[in-house]
Chains A and B, each alone.
Chain A
Amino acid sequence: MIDLLLASAITLSVPLVLAALGGAVHRRAGVVNIGLEAHMILGALIGAVVSGLTASWALGALGGLVAGAISGALMSVIITRLKGNEIIVGLGFNIVMFGVIGYVLRAAFGVSGTLQVPGLQRMPKLVIPGIADIPVLGALLSGKDPLFWLCVVLVPLLAWLLRSTRWGVRLRATGASEPASASLGLRTLAIRDGAGVIAGALAALGGVALSLGTVGLFNENMTAGRGYVALAAFYFGRSKPLPTALACVLFGFFDALQIRLQTVGGFSADIISTLPYIAVVVVLALTGIRQHYRGARTVS
């Protein structure tokens, strides 16, 4: 029971972690990316379609990543070069992306809502011999897809990159004080565009984790607000990779819990399914209260 819950929580966290890490990098560069949801749903669709065409989950994931990078670049350029307001541009991307995808589903595939891609290859579940049978640890680590392991690598890697490389220091400088960074000769707009590409690519991989993960199909509602939950996660994690990922796991746990509770019955399914979102609101409120009492103005 507890193993099932944990295994499910980890699996449900993967899309959140990928999107939230992307958003965190973008945030550290000084842009709040509201459009994570748009990049996610795009990645989910392109990942599913490419996987179906090539019968390869890896090429599907790559296709989703490239599509997300392009859409992230487009969004960033509108913000940095055309001076669009990042909130409005992000919201606009979300609305337009869902509209376009709904249209494409009908026009190109003749379906509405759900797209079953023939020949689609799902991501493999990597069962680790020896660990798989250990209680808890097995549930946490075994039988996960490759994108889970990407998250495991990404969290320390991003932390190191932000701390110890030119790219990381310049990115953080740009996010903390754009005018001062520009006066030191940093190409702040290019730095922000780069972060926007990373955010788009990672969020799209999060979408791929949804469509090529457990279900193996595309549905136009499959992100279900996860882009916004990711936003809450990096806000809660102050855009630091590890706390951000842990926040995602917390939200993933509540998602897994609500699924379990639905099978138990006794409560209205509609109310239970709001649990993860209520958790987000509660966590954000606690974050706000904590910062208020600390009186600190930290990166949010």
Chain B
Amino acid sequence: MSTPSADRIPSPDPAPVGCRIGARGISRSFGPVQANVDVTLTVRAGTVHAVVGENGAGKSTLMRMLYGLDQPDAGSVVVDDELVALGSPRAAIERRIGLVQQELAIIPDLTLLENLVLGQEPGVLGRIDWKAALVRARELSASVGVEIEWTADAARASIAIQQQVEILRLVYRGADVLILDEPTAVLAPAQADELLRLLSSLRDAGRTIIFISHKLDEVLGVADRITVLRAGRTVAEMVRGETDRRGLAALIVGDDSELVESTTARGVPGGVVLTARGLGAKDDRGIARLEDVGFEARSGEILGIAAVAGNGQEELAEVLIGIRAVSSGDLALDGVSIARKDVRARRRAGLGYVSADRKQEGLALRLSLADNSIATPAMTSLAGAGWLRPRKVAEHVKAVLGRAAVRFGSASDPASSLSGGNQQRVVLGRETIGEPRVLVASQPTRGVDVRGIGYIHELLRQARDAGAAVVLFSEELDELRELSDRILVLHRGRVAGVLGPDSSRSEIGALMLGDEGQAHAA
């Protein structure tokens, strides 16, 4: 299946000279999805190499193969100019390769020091020499210029610190190739800057770093070389200074012909449906995540919510539907406060919810499509005296699945049998069939392929045109710009500003990063 595609690579050097780690013609498929197609990557020792591409471009799949967590169908991983088969992470670790995944392997109940040395503790006869461990830890953090309170519990440390510890753990264990899968996605801008400095100093100490990022500025700022993946293929490899932001963005997106043609018509906003006043909320650890958030959402509009991950958007979505408690302020639907109402009451009052966590919250994957389709308080209308009426249920299920154009075998199949995009359509069909007053859609296209995204966008527009106030949370700025009538930007749990639909990426980006100079453009 790997077709020769060297012509797609503008400036590769086919002779793998000085390749510390890389890929030669790697292909990998998961069912019908081709995650990697003839991918070639050459990472030189002592460089920072960025791998960029859209969601689903195959970046994480490639990284997993470089670390031995997955194996290519065709082609091979290259280590030190040799083709090798990495059967397991153990094989990768022996070749001094380490991976930091998006899910950190930090153990919260241990201290940061215990986390650092776990598995390779210094000491004799089973007794750990904590003094020696601490000295080594301090040497490590000092050598790369970060400050870490090693004796603190990991659970109390910020994500940024946890991540630094995980990176230093790889160094402690002797890795000199560090692979980082979207390390800055969960970091605030200042934390991201510090991480990038850490990566630079590791590079200057002779280590080789591969990192994945969606943030083009940091890629251009720190990477010595950049490889662009699009739809599973290598489309470009460049050295620093060969491209700029615009050029890189064009390579990442490619031409738009693959996208489903969509109506770009905006909504026709009507009256105010949902009103938030001074909303505050805390996370599970009791730390304030939302403060004084106020906005109005109107019938027939899509209100986009943009933020860097970790700036309160997850908490806001949960607060709107009622999964997370409001700690201050008020939330009103059609002028009636719902701040103290539970999820069931809010759903009855006309809220619909598309969870960002489709597999845990959006669907019960092991239950059938039929069960998933009726799993809302609307189920009551399908029952007489407590008994579900099979004929009514069947009609409802048919309507839900038909509305969202779900491609399925039988309604009694488990939800897990569908692809991610189809699963999400089931959720959207269920949540929109009752024509909700407000539809809270959190990351509705996360992990969904390009075609599926088009369908989901269309369902969101239909809900808007039917008169719902759609509150759309998304990490994809282009998605927000395409769909939203207004875009509200959160920064550190506060409203940084509200922008119109024609705002540029950089305008939104500036607000997301806390540059409050241009708030309230709309």
Contacts and interface: CB of A to CB of B under 8 A. Distances in A.
Contact of B107 (A165, A180, A297): A180
Contact of A164 (B105, B130, B286): B130
Contacts of A177: 105, 107-109
Nearest to A183: B105
B242 to A, nearest CB: 36
Contacts of A186: 118-119
A170 B119 CA distance: 7
Contacts of A295: 284, 286
A181 B284 CA distance: 24
Given A186-B118, A186-B119, A181 B107 contact: yes
Contact of A172 (B89, B110, B130, B284): B110
A173 B110 contact: yes
A167, A169, A170 pick with most chain B CB within 10 angstroms = A169
B128 A164 contact: yes
A25 to B, nearest CB: 15
Interface residues of A, number: 21
Given A164-B127, A164-B128, A180 B105 contact: yes
Contacts of A172: 109-110, 114
A164 B119 CA distance: 14
Contact of A185 (B93, B108, B284): B93
A184 B105 CA distance: 8
Given A165-B126, A169-B128, A186-B119, A176 B105 contact: no
Interface in A174-209: 175-177, 179-181, 183-186
A169 B126 contact: no
Contacts of B114: 169, 172-173
Q: Chain A binding site: helix, strand, loop or mixed by DSSP? A: helix
Interface in A274-300: 295, 297, 299
A176 B115 CA distance: 12
B126 A166 contact: yes
A172 B114 CA distance: 10
B150 to A, nearest CB: 14
Contacts of B108: 176-177
B110 A166 contact: no
Interface in B71-111: 89-90, 93, 105-110
B121 interface: yes
B131 to A, nearest CB: 11
B271 interface: no
A172 B107 CA distance: 9
Contacts of B105: 177, 179-180, 183-184
A284 B105 CA distance: 32
A196 to B, nearest CB: 19
A299 B153 CA distance: 14
A167 B126 contact: yes
A173 B107 contact: yes
Nearest to A294: B286
Interface residues of B, number: 21
A175 to B, nearest CB: 8
Contacts of B121: 166, 169
A184 B100 CA distance: 11
A216 B118 CA distance: 46
B89 A166 contact: no
Nearest to B282: A295
Contacts of A297: 284
Contacts of B107: 173, 176-177, 180-181
Contacts of B130: 164
Given A173-B110, A180-B107, A185 B127 contact: no
B270 interface: no
A297 B128 CA distance: 27
B126 A185 contact: no
Contacts of A299: 109
B400 to A, nearest CB: 35
A165 B128 contact: yes
A100 B459 CA distance: 63
Interface string B260-286: 000000000000000000000000101
Contact of B119 (A167, A176, A179, A184): A184
A287 B140 CA distance: 41
Contacts of B89: 183
Contacts of B117: 169
Interface in B396-419: none
Interface in B110-168: 110, 114, 117-119, 121, 123, 126-128, 130
A106 to B, nearest CB: 46
Interface string A140-161: 0000000000000000000000
Nearest to A176: B109
B127 A173 contact: no
Given A167-B126, A169-B121, A185 B109 contact: no
B126 A180 contact: no
A297 B118 CA distance: 23
Given A167-B126, A173-B118, A297-B284, 16 more contacts: A165-B126, A165-B127, A166-B121, A169-B128, A170-B118, A170-B119, A172-B110, A173-B107, A176-B109, A177-B108, A183-B89, A183-B105, A184-B105, A184-B119, A186-B118, A186-B119
Interface of B: 89-90, 93, 105-110, 114, 117-119, 121, 123, 126-128, 130, 284, 286
27 contacts: A164-B127, A164-B130, A165-B126, A165-B127, A166-B121, A169-B117, A169-B118, A170-B118, A172-B109, A172-B114, A173-B109, A173-B114, A176-B107, A177-B107, A177-B108, A177-B109, A179-B105, A180-B106, A180-B107, A181-B118, A183-B89, A183-B105, A184-B105, A185-B119, A186-B118, A186-B119, A299-B109
7 shortest A-B CB distances, which residue pairs? A176-B109, A180-B105, A177-B107, A184-B119, A176-B107, A165-B126, A173-B107
